[in-house]
Every structure is written in structure tokens, then in C-alpha cells.
Structure 1
Amino acid sequence: MIQATVRFAGKPTYTAPATLLGHNLEIAGDTAAGLLTERLTNPKFRGPADPLTGIAPGWQPVMFRNIQGMRFELTPGLSLSGQESQLIHNYSGRGAIGIGQTERWLRAGERLEVRLWARVQHHPVTLRAGIRPMALHAPIYDAASIPITATYWKAYRATLTSPRDDEHALFFLFLEEPGLVWLDQVHLQPEGVGALRSDLLAAIRTLDIPVLRFPGGCISTNYHWRHGTGPAHLRPNLQDPVFKWEVSYEFGTDEYLGLCRELGIQPHITINIGSGTPEEAGDWAAYCAAWFRDRGLEPPAIYWQMGNEHYGAWELGNMSGELYAAALREFVPAVRRAYPKARIIALGPETGEGLMAGERFPWREPVLEKAGDLVDLLALQWYASGWNEDPAVQQANALKGARDLAHAIQRTAADCRRHRLPIKVAVTEWNFWLRAAHYDGGIFLEPYDVQHGLFVSAVLHHFTRLLPDMELGNFYHLVNPMGIFISRGPAIQETPLAEVFRLYRPAFPGQVLPLEVSSPPFVEDIPMVDAACLRNVSADWLFL
């Protein structure tokens, strides 16, 4: 039996802001796909083509026998976005041949809109779009004819109705007469709904998120914001040189700011310093200010983070602390001129690393010396680990990781005070990382369990004890990769960490009540029982 004593040790001290319970939304892997109502993979036919079929990734030839007379080609440069378009060339007149996607999920009674942009060569043709079970000789669920009548890019639509639930259906698109048709994009979405999944938005709403970071993360080092604005059908999906996955602009700045407005979230935007320019950053800030004013709203305070992990050899735009300080002197003024309510976040680890193994150099000191006057918050990004087959050892490693993060925050705050700078500390990414791998096909799955939950609680307790130095904390990640919510099919899966964040959220903002905790040790200087207490207008909140 464990015996521990918790006593109040004085009057309320500092107020713990709600921004300590922030989150990340990195547009990497399948994050954007999880946010959207789109049912198809690679709807814009991003290459490279399969060398055997000539068809874009995610798509495949659909035919009932090995029938000749059809040619496919992914044509570079011939598209609305300047990328590729998918050619279907029927030179035999044979029917029931085309392209499609398997493993598409359907719900009984739902009406699905097929929306495509296409062009023909020389004469009109008719496409047939449909949904069917995977069984070859089973009857189709529904199909519709789509006449393609123009040699220029034009939008076409059709509606399909699903008669039953099916999580393994086939979507097909046939050209059943002689002719050539190029497809710029093909979409399959529920009719009459918006671009974002309403069930996912409902799940996110339950967390009452105070601040949400976008577009990442490492992905931000090659994110060019203009691609994610304007009509969605003109936005590209590009190769990702960071994770070697894909950069999707289907969920862009407009959608992000709209989400923040709808859910009462404070925006937190990461500027591209890895491959961007100060002018691009300033224009992004001006665009955001205009976005709010165009809707009759006063632009709110926005956290603008200057890059991501550029102190690391893995990062696009890896640099020394001196180079980063010089970049701040160019990027920060451009953002502040365009967005006066900017809260500027700079990267603040103690040291960075170079290209050569073992090469390390000072980072925080030159940043504070040469650019500290430009900065409101100094950011750490922290992932605890410590894989061990023994669960008790692994749990100890998790809690030691939370303690070490607290120590790193204390050192960062002390360095800011030493430079007489009124800079707060942010932790813009944090998690307990055991399984998620960059080579797992873009899923980046971290199965959350009790150990992760205890790590989250430990970190949040430390945050309350580190006031007033702490201002911001963003857990990684909200949707799909290392996600609190998994959106990869008909149902949203909620991980146990959602309940942990919902448990703490009502206490923030709240005044911190100091505690004295007497407990046996768990490991080293970490107690078996930890506690935090906050007071706000609704209640006193004691967490053990």
C-alpha cells in the first residue's frame, strides 16, 4: 500500500493559462486526408506513374478481363495546377475498362457527389462513374454517365447513391467508346456537406483547444502558404522533400483560420525559414490580417513561430545559432509590420548540431545575444522516449523525460533572465515517443496507453509549477500521425489521451495553489504520487 500526504502550502500564486493545453496540426502524412470529406486517394493524380500501367499512385486499371485496346498515361505539365493529368485513351471501343480505387468506404443511403475536371481531344466522349462491391460478378451499386464535351478544362458532376454499408467498395471510372480524355482531378464526397469531416470537428470540439499550431512541424520548412489559398481545385499536391511523403494544400490557410474561428482557437503559425523568404512570411501575415478584417473581425493575437528545429541536422534549413539570429532579424520585422498583434516565437534549445556526427555548437546564447530583442517566447521541442521491455522501467523513463523537460524549461528561463529579456518559454511540441516511425508508410502510429497518459499528466503538472516562466505548450499531435484522434475510415477513433486532456481542460485558466506532497519515491527524485491544484471560478481542481 502506498501512503502519501498532500497539503496546501499557501495562497494561490500565478495563473496557469489555457495555452498550456495547446495542440499541433501538422499537414504531413495523412493529416489533411483525415480532416477532409474526400473518399478518394490522390484525387489530383500526383505522380510518378506506375511504369507498368501509366496510372497515378492510388489508382489502378479496372477491367473484367485482360482486354487490350486501352492506354493510360500520366501527362506532365498538362493540368490546372501545372502538375500531371491522367490520360485515358480507348482506341478499341471496348467497354467496362478504365481506372478505379478499391477499399472505398460507403454508408447505406448516402448520396455521393462525383466531381471531376476533364478535357477531351477532337470529339466529346462519355465517362461512366460508379460504385460497386469488390465481388467481380456482383451487381453494381450505382452508376452515372458523364458527358465530357469540351477540349478545355471544365468541371463535371454526377451523383451516386449507396444502397448499403461497405468498407471495401470499388469506385470506377470507365471510358467505353473510342476517344481520349484527360482527368485533372476526380473527387468523391458526400453530397451537400462541407470540405471538413463534421464527425471529426465534433470530436475536436470536445477538447476545447485553446491554441493550435499549423502547418507543422518539420513540414513547415518547405510549406509555401500561397499554394493553400484560393479555389481548392487549383491547389497542388506536391512532393514532400522532408518526410518523403506528400505536402497537401487541400487544407490550407483559409480552412485553418476558419477552423480556429469556428472553435474559438487562437492561431499559431509556423513560418517557413527552411526554404521561404522574409517577403513570403510578411505576405502570409498580411493575408491573415486581411482574412479577419474581410469578415468584419479584429485580427486576434497570433503566435508566429520562426521555423522549426533548424538546430537539428535532420531539418531542411539546418543552421547555426548565429545564422538563425540573422534570419530572425530579417523575418521578424516583416511579420510584425504586417501583423502588429504577433507573438513571436524563436527556437531556443541550448545547443544545435551540424552535418557531421557529434558536431555541436551553441544555439540559445547567440540567439539571445543577437536577436533576443525581437522575441516574445523561446521554444523547446521535446520528445521523451526510453523503450524497455520491462513496463516499470519504461514508465520510469517516461516520468524522467517529463522531469528533464521541466529542468530544460528552467534553464531556458534562467538564460532569458540573465540577458534581462522579458521572454516567456514555450514547448511547441512534446510527447512520449516509442513506436511511430517515418518508414511506416505515412501512418506514423503511436498507440497510446496508460504510460502515455501518466506522461501527459506529469508534464502538465510540471507546467503549472513553472509559472510565470511558461506561456505555451503544444502537444504533438491532434489528428492521425501520433494523433489523439484517428480519422482513417468511416468512424473516428478516439485514443485514451483525449480523455486525459478533457480531464484537465476545465481547470485552465486557473490560479495555481501551492502544494506540499509527501510521497515515497518512484525512481530517483520522482515521487510515487504527484499532485497539482488549480482554482478558477468554477471549482478547485486537485489532480493526483
Structure 2
Amino acid sequence: MKRVTYFADKNYKIGQVDPKLFGSFIEHLGRAVYTGIYEPGHPTADEDGFRKDVMDLVKELNVPIVRYPGGNFLSGYDWTDGIGPIENRPRRLDLAWRTTEPNEVGIDEFMKWANKLNIEPMLAVNLGTGTPKEAGFFVEYCNHPGNTYWSDLRIQNGHKDPYNVKVWCLGNEMDGPWQIGQLSAEDYGKKARETAKIMKWVDPTIELVACGSSSAEMPTFPEWDRVVLEHLYEHVDYISCHRYYENLGDTNDFLGSFADMDNFIKTIASTADYVQAKYRSKKKMYISFDEWNVWYQKKVELKDWEVAPPILEDIYSLLDSLVFGGLMCTLLQHVDRVKMASLAQLVNVIAPIFTQKGGPAIKQAIFYPFYQVSNYGRGEVLNTLIEAPKLATNRHGDIPLVQSSTTYNAEDNTLSIFALNCSEDEDLVLDAQFRSFGSVQVIEHVVMDGTDLNAVNNFANPDNVKPRNVDVSNKSGDHIEITLPRMSWNMIRLQCTSN
């Protein structure tokens, strides 16, 4: 078997993991909200109509922050449609997805759901059809304690205490021609700057996310990001980026998606650093990777103006979960700049959780790598040194056969290694050295692999694709050999027994 040399040292660090790296996204799109998180009358629904089976799975994923309410939906959405008595709320045409929005769930319901799960909200303001003034009113409704029109309206609606929402997005994908109210970088920069001023005048403690490029394929990338940041650099805390990956028929190219994500992040970071240098700013601009996933962007024919039709309901395979794991490693490798990320999305719409209306909720294949990294990838990311054979790809050039990241959690003195073996033909031996940690003991080695890369989970067979445990008895010392099966995603957890 080929060998991969793997060296981790506690003094070689990339940075601390911000828990917000494991965020997700709920948009008023398809069945993400209705029959996703919210389904009154469902056997598991609580007193507020939220599906408890879905909440249990969200808790398992340990998601700390969720972006809401969109997405493309955002740019035509009036947040005031979703407040007050539900029976008085208007039904609206959603032009983004050509559906009907009943507005049964709005900001107050979303905040109630988030509070049940101890999830921080990441709210977004409409900069398509919306105005800077309306964005300020939204912040006032959510965060001002009282004695003003909008804060008193929140109290009247049954929510005495302010929500104190800290993270706000200034629109969504405003560079896209598909976006309601698309703007040039210059026009967006001006509008977002004035919006940011008003929002921070209402609440100076909030953090703001500027709209970055919606894709590396946009002809304006990364010029859009440069122009936007030149308008907003001292007014915002993050620049957003979005990136999705699809299997176009070449397995090696698909597995190498992590290399594309790596280059994408570096390009955005260097663009932000250019603006910092131009303005001689002392502030470092961080990245909010607030949409990412594997997404098969195929068109589905649906009737116009339905309520919660099945849009973008990708069913994920074992191969998708391997690629997904590689992407998660890349996010970890950039924790010095990527402080927040939102897996798009959380339920039903290109999501790790999939529900049946009136029926069960199941875990998709991508649920497992997200669960593993979210729960065990906390602490500090180490700058591991890896020597691995190369894999030739058409799209990304030569990439390492192994994509990996390592985290060290000082609280429980554990190490977590996450590793993707891209080899279709053979197992690889990971020759891992931990000399600065002294002796280590392998706690567990969990593998996702199988003979059928197209295998999926469904309601008839919800556990068809899931991890398996490997025997790790008698694996200890400062030098450990671990076999990574061919075409596999691996999590190896180690207890440091001496230093």
C-alpha cells in the first residue's frame, strides 16, 4: 500500500475554530420552512407547529447559527408581511422561486424556533426591492428595547425582550442577473454603505456582512468584491462568498472540488487584503462563506405559484458525502480568514435533513461528515505537514490523494483527524506522527465507504449510507499507522495521554 506521511505539531497552528463555521441556512424556498422545520398537525409538532423530529436532528448537527430568510427570496421580501396575527398576514407571490408565500412563518416564529435550539440568528435585509430605511426599521424591531414605534410593535406582538440579533447580511447575491433588483458593484456599494450606517446607528453593536460575488464563474469576479469593499471596508465586518459543487461526470474532478474551494477562498482573501492595503486600514476583513454545498443544478418542472413545492430536493449519495467531507477540510484549513459559514441549506432543500410531509425525517449521506466535523472539529486547527501521492484531474490539475485537516481541543486534550482518500484503486497508510503531543491513544476511527458510490438513503432504507467503526485496539504511541480505505471519508479521534 502507498504511504502518506502525516506530521502534526501543537506549535504549528492555523487558528482557532469559530463555532459559527458550522452554521446553516433556512430560506423561504421549497419545503425548507413549510413541512421542513414547520408543520402544524405533524405527529411530532410542538405547541408552535415546529417538527420536533427535525429539531432533534438539528441538535445532533450542533448548528450554532442559521441564516434567514434568504437567499434569492430575500430580494423581494417585506419582513413586515411576517409579523402580527397569522390570520391577518398577506399571501404574496414570491417572484424569486415563482411560488406563493403564505407568511405563516416570519421573524417572530423563526426567533422562537432558534431559541428552542439555542441557535443564533443571522438575519438578512432586503437590498433588492428594499430600502436602507426599511433595514433600519428591521433592526429597530428586533433589537431596540422599547418606546419607539417598531420596538413597541414587537412588544405588542408578544415579544417583550429585544432579540439582540448581532449578525446581519446586507442583501443576497446582488451581482446576479437572476436577483430581484440586481445592482452593479458601484450601486450596491453605495446602497449597502448607507444601509450599514443606518443599521449601526440603530444598534452600534451589530456585525455586518457585505455581499461578495455569488460565484467564481461570474464575469465580474473578483472585481465585484474589490469595488464593494472599497465602498464598505470600514462599515462591515465580513465579505460573503457562495460556492456550490456538482458532479459533471468526472469522478476525479468531483473529488477534487476541495482544491477549487481552496483557490476561491485565497482569491477573496487576497482581494480583501488589497483593499486593506489601499486604504492603509488596520482592520482585517474576514470571510462569511454563507452558502456552500454539493448541488445538482438540474431544472425541475413545477406548477407556478404553489405553496412549498419540492424545489431543489437533491438526494445525496455516498460519493457526494466524500466530496462534502473534503470541502469541510478546506473550510477548516482557512479558519484564520473564514470565521462563519452556512451550509445551504438545512432541511429538504439541498440539505442534510430530509422530511416526508406527515411522515419521518431522515439523515442524508452528507449529514454524517457535517455531524463529525461540527461536533469534533472544535478547538485549534493545526497546520499539518502531509506528503501524499498525487491524483491527476482535468479541472484542478494534480491534487493530493489525501485531503485532510487536524484539530486539537485543549479542553479535553484530544486530536481529531479528518481525511478523504481519493484513490479509486487502493487503500493508503496514514503514517501519523505526534511527537510534540507525546503519547496518544486512538479513541475511534469512523469510516464512510462502500462498494456502491451511488448509494443513497431514502425513507424505505434510511440507514443505507452511514459510517462504520474500525477496530482501533492497540493503537497508541507518538507514531501511529492508520489505514484509509479506498474512496473513503475518515474521522480519527485520539486522546493525548502525555505531553
TM-score normalised to the size of structure 1?
0.66
For residue 348 of structure 1, what is the aligned residue in structure 2?
A: 212
The structure-2 alpha-carbon separation of the partners of 1:515 and 1:270, relative to structure 1 and needing over 3 Å to count, comes to same
One-letter identity of the residue aligned with 1:32: V
Structure 1 residue runs of 4+, over 4 Å off? 290-301, 350-354, 358-361
Query: Alpha-carbon deviation of 1:452?
Result: 2.4
Which of 63, 86, 90 lines up with 1:209 in the alignment? Answer: 63
In the TM superposition, 1:261-340 aligns within 5 A as 261-290=115-144, 299-300=163-164, 302-340=166-204
The structure-2 alpha-carbon separation of the partners of 1:329 and 1:216, relative to structure 1 and needing over 3 Å to count, comes to same
In the TM superposition, 1:62-81 aligns within 5 A as none
For structure 2, the residue ranges without an aligned partner over 5 or more in a row are 303-308, 420-499
The structure-2 alpha-carbon separation of the partners of 1:365 and 1:337, relative to structure 1 and needing over 3 Å to count, comes to same
One-letter identity of the residue aligned with 2:193: R
For residue 366 of structure 1, what is the aligned residue in structure 2?
A: 227
The structure-2 alpha-carbon separation of the partners of 1:353 and 1:448, relative to structure 1 and needing over 3 Å to count, comes to closer
For residue 224 of structure 1, what is the aligned residue in structure 2?
A: 78
Matched-pair contact (CA < 8 Å) for 1:352–1:362: no
Matched-pair contact (CA < 8 Å) for 1:351–1:363: no
1:391 & 1:337 partners in 2: Cα distance?
A: 51
Query: Alpha-carbon deviation of 1:210?
Result: 1.1
For residue 241 of structure 1, what is the aligned residue in structure 2?
A: 95
1:21 & 1:436 partners in 2: Cα distance?
A: 27
Q: What are the Cα deviations for residues 415-459 of structure 1, in whole angstroms up to 9, with x where unaligned? A: 344343422111110112225536455421212123322232222
For residue 352 of structure 2, what is the aligned residue in structure 1?
A: 484
The structure-2 alpha-carbon separation of the partners of 1:255 and 1:436, relative to structure 1 and needing over 3 Å to count, comes to farther
Query: Alpha-carbon deviation of 1:315?
Result: 0.9
One-letter identity of the residue aligned with 1:310: M
Which of 490, 515, 531 lines up with 2:384 in the alignment? Answer: 515
Query: Alpha-carbon deviation of 1:254?
Result: 0.7
Q: Report the 3-state secondary structure (helix = DSSP H, G, I; strand = E; otherwise coil) of the residue aligned with 1:531.
A: strand
Aligned-residue RMSD, C-alpha: 2.8
Determine if the alignment matches structure 1 residue 382 to structure 2 residue 243: yes
In the TM superposition, 1:532-543 aligns within 5 A as 532-536=405-409, 537-538=411-412, 539-543=414-418
2:335 & 2:32 partners in 1: Cα distance?
A: 33
2:369 & 2:356 partners in 1: Cα distance?
A: 22
One-letter identity of the residue aligned with 1:426: S
Determine if the alignment matches structure 1 residue 470 to structure 2 residue 338: yes
One-letter identity of the residue aligned with 1:519: A
Matched-pair contact (CA < 8 Å) for 1:31–1:479: yes
Q: What are the Cα deviations for residues 489-510 of structure 1, in whole angstroms up to 9, with x where unaligned? A: 2111221222211101223541
Query: Alpha-carbon deviation of 1:36?
Result: 2.1
Determine if the alignment matches structure 1 residue 401 to structure 2 residue 226: no
The structure-2 alpha-carbon separation of the partners of 1:314 and 1:435, relative to structure 1 and needing over 3 Å to count, comes to closer
Q: What are the Cα deviations for residues 450-489 of structure 1, in whole angstroms up to 9, with x where unaligned? A: 3322232222222222232221111111111112212232
One-letter identity of the residue aligned with 2:70: G
Larger radius of gyration: 1
For residue 506 of structure 1, what is the aligned residue in structure 2?
A: 375
1:482 & 1:217 partners in 2: Cα distance?
A: 13
The structure-2 alpha-carbon separation of the partners of 1:504 and 1:291, relative to structure 1 and needing over 3 Å to count, comes to farther
Determine if the alignment matches structure 1 residue 38 to structure 2 residue 70: no
Query: Alpha-carbon deviation of 1:350?
Result: 9.5
Query: Alpha-carbon deviation of 1:399?
Result: 3.6
2:216 & 2:253 partners in 1: Cα distance?
A: 29
Query: Alpha-carbon deviation of 1:268?
Result: 0.5
1:402 & 1:9 partners in 2: Cα distance?
A: 25
For residue 284 of structure 2, what is the aligned residue in structure 1?
A: 422
One-letter identity of the residue aligned with 1:518: E
Q: What are the Cα deviations for residues 255-306 of structure 1, in whole angstroms up to 9, with x where unaligned? A: 1111222212121111101011112111111111148996676754521111
1:415 & 1:452 partners in 2: Cα distance?
A: 35
1:202 & 1:286 partners in 2: Cα distance?
A: 32
The structure-2 alpha-carbon separation of the partners of 1:422 and 1:404, relative to structure 1 and needing over 3 Å to count, comes to closer
Query: Alpha-carbon deviation of 1:6?
Result: 0.7
In the TM superposition, 1:150-161 aligns within 5 A as none
Number of residue pairs aligned between Structure 1 and Structure 2: 391
One-letter identity of the residue aligned with 1:499: Y
1:506 & 1:399 partners in 2: Cα distance?
A: 21
Q: What are the Cα deviations for residues 103-141 of structure 1, in whole angstroms up to 9, with x where unaligned? A: xxx87xx9xxxxxxxxxxxxxxxxxxxxxxxxxxxxxxx
For residue 22 of structure 1, what is the aligned residue in structure 2?
A: 23
For structure 1, the residue ranges without an aligned partner over 5 or more in a row are 40-105, 111-189
Name which structure has the greater RCO, CA cutoff 8 Å, separation 6+. 2
Q: Report the 3-state secondary structure (helix = DSSP H, G, I; strand = E; otherwise coil) of the residue aligned with 2:129.
A: coil
Q: What are the Cα deviations for residues 1-43 of structure 1, in whole angstroms up to 9, with x where unaligned? A: 332111114515320111111101011122221222236xxxx
- Return the structure number with greater strand share: 1
The structure-2 alpha-carbon separation of the partners of 1:528 and 1:473, relative to structure 1 and needing over 3 Å to count, comes to same
The structure-2 alpha-carbon separation of the partners of 1:350 and 1:411, relative to structure 1 and needing over 3 Å to count, comes to farther
For residue 44 of structure 1, what is the aligned residue in structure 2?
A: none
In the TM superposition, 1:113-192 aligns within 5 A as none
Determine if the alignment matches structure 1 residue 452 to structure 2 residue 320: yes
Query: Alpha-carbon deviation of 1:201?
Result: 1.4
The structure-2 alpha-carbon separation of the partners of 1:430 and 1:259, relative to structure 1 and needing over 3 Å to count, comes to same
TM-score normalised to the size of structure 2?
0.72
Matched-pair contact (CA < 8 Å) for 1:20–1:471: yes
One-letter identity of the residue aligned with 1:286: E
1:231 & 1:298 partners in 2: Cα distance?
A: 19
Matched-pair contact (CA < 8 Å) for 1:416–1:423: no
The structure-2 alpha-carbon separation of the partners of 1:392 and 1:329, relative to structure 1 and needing over 3 Å to count, comes to closer
Matched-pair contact (CA < 8 Å) for 1:222–1:274: yes
2:284 & 2:300 partners in 1: Cα distance?
A: 38
2:399 & 2:222 partners in 1: Cα distance?
A: 31
